Amino acid sequence: MNVESFNLDHTLVAAPYLRLADRKQLPAGDVIVKYDVRFTQPNVDHLDMPVIHSLEHLFAEKSRNHSSRVVDFSPMGCQTGFYLILQGEHTVDEVADLVQQTLLDVANATEVPAANETQCGWGANHTLDGAQQAARDFLTKRGEWLMVFADGSVEG
């Protein structure tokens, strides 16, 4: 199939994890990479929409304090994680460090940025507490992030 994640056997992964999902070289030579930042086990659990929405705002804002190469941080429709898109080549350890630094910022945030009607399309649909709990839960599993599959492997 054309969509990379549709070719991933979701029954074999073990969330939480951080996985290189795609790498594209653009016509001008620039490289963009997409990471699958999976918070919950597919088809077993999911994040509630206010949690996703708040994590999206917080991560999008806070990650740019640690890297000028963040292009986007987008939620997955299945509500189990996010896609982190970066410009340029990075090691998975560098990306894991960026995710860790950013989620520590999320855990210590005092508000969700732009959670209002002027700056957001659904400003009332946020939960700082929920986003912080999801960030803390993900951080406690830091040692497991690079083990994507239930058998402990990185690639299928």
Q: Where are the beta strands (DSSP E) in 64-151?
A: 70-75, 81-87
* Burial class, 59, CB count within 10 angstroms (exposed 0-12 / middle 13-18 / buried 19+): buried
Please check whether residue 152 lies inside any domain of the structure: no
Whether 132 maps to a domain, the answer reads yes
Q: Would you say residue 155 has pLDDT above 90? A: no
* Per-residue pLDDT at 156: 46
CATH number at residue 52: 3.30.1360.80
* Sole residue written with tokens 């056997």: 9
Q: Has residue 107 been placed in a domain? A: yes
Q: pLDDT tens, 42-58?
A: 999 999 999 999 999 99
Question: What pLDDT is stored for residue 152 in this prediction?
Answer: 77
Can you give the residue range of the structural domain that contains 81?
4-141
- Report the domain count for the chain: 1
Mean pLDDT of 115-130: 98
* Domain assignment of residue 154, yes or no: no
pLDDT-based confidence at residue 13 (cuts at 50, 70, 90) = very high
Q: With 80 as the cut, is the pLDDT of residue 154 above it?
A: no
**Rounded mean pLDDT, 77-95:** 97
Tokens of 131: 């986003």
Higher pLDDT, 61 or 152: 61
Q: For a pLDDT cut of 70, what percent of the chain falls above it? A: 99
Q: Is 48 part of any domain? A: yes
In a domain, 25, yes or no: yes
